[in-house]
Amino acid sequence: EAGVTQSPTHLIKTRGQQATLRCSPISGHTSVYWYQQALGLGLQFLLWYDEGEERNRGNFPPRFSGRQFPNYSSELNVNALELEDSALYLCASSLTGTSGYEQYFGPGTRLTVT
Amino acid sequence: AQSVSQHNHHVILSEAASLELGCNYSYGGTVNLFWYVQYPGQHLQLLLKYFSGDPLVKGIKGFEAEFIKSKFSFNLRKPSVQWSDTAEYFCAVRPRDAGNMLTFGGGTRLMVKP
């Protein structure tokens, strides 16, 4: 069974640009989560999508946004990039998120903002 | 807001030594608890989980964890570590009524010397 996949592996952008990160969940999983792992800040919850809807959002500014497609894959968009957005962005998926299902993580996208 | 504390940032052990990694959380309600592991060059993997029932849970690779509700703790243990256990370990908490987000501890880097 294929795990959670993310693309690209690495992304280099300039301050002020936009970044788009992609995630494909495990087959059968309808919930997708995004986390940021920044140096010194640890893993922080960003967004949760389930059945195409945003269900929860972490303490991040509105320039972090995303969507979930009908096939349950997801996209994270970061607008007006700032240097401190440099981090590893992890995507996770689970069965429907309304009850206690564990989250499975992908390998991440390393975003570097210069 | 809930928080998770992992007391040891770096642990160095010799093979066959016993391991205990501390994890404490602050949240008054019902929680699900997890330990994830990240081996060098690999993505986060679920080690074990606690949802309800027996507070002593067993995971993969000989790891176990004990949920002590009165102490808000979920410590990870292994009786005899191996060199292959060298990794970073993350404790995570999911309050049942907090929108399915995981709150992670800062992680503990374990190095096992052969």
pLDDT digits (tens, 9 = 90+) for B47-93: 999 998 999 999 999 999 999 999 999 999 999 999 999 999 999 99
More confident residue, B1 or B93: B93
Place B10 in a pLDDT band, splitting at 50, 70 and 90: very high
How many CB pairs below 8 A link A and B?
52
Question: Of the candidates B43, B103, B105, which has its C-beta nearest A105's C-beta?
Answer: B43
Q: What pLDDT does residue A41 have? A: 83
Q: How far is B21 from chain A (nearest CA, A)?
A: 17
The per-residue b/e assignment along B89-106, b for 16 or more CB within 10 angstroms, e otherwise, is bbbbbbbeebebbbbbbb
* Mean pLDDT for back-to-back runs of 10 residues, chain A (114 residues): 92 98 96 93 92 92 97 97 97 78 93 98
Provide the pLDDT for residue A1.
65
Residue B95 binned pLDDT confidence (cut-offs 50, 70, 90): confident
Task: Count the Cβ atoms, other than its own, within 10 Å of residue A43.
Answer: 25
8 A C-beta contact, residue B3 and residue B95: no
pLDDT at A98: 57
| Amino acid at residue number A97 | G
What pLDDT does B25 receive? Answer: 95
Per-residue model confidence (pLDDT) at position B26: 93
Residues of A in contact with B34 (CB under 8 A): 102
Test B32 with A90 for CB contact under 8 angstroms.
no
**What average pLDDT does chain B have?**
93
Q: Which residue of B has its CA nearest to A58?
A: B101
Q: So what's the pLDDT on residue B105?
A: 95
User: Which of A30, A21, A34, A52 minimizes the C-alpha distance to A105?
Assistant: A34
What is the residue type of B13? L
Nearest C-alpha neighbor of A105 from the set B90, B7, B78? B90
C-alpha to C-alpha distance for A47 and A78, rounded to whole angstroms: 12
Q: Which of residues 12-31 of A touch B (CB under 8 A)?
A: 31
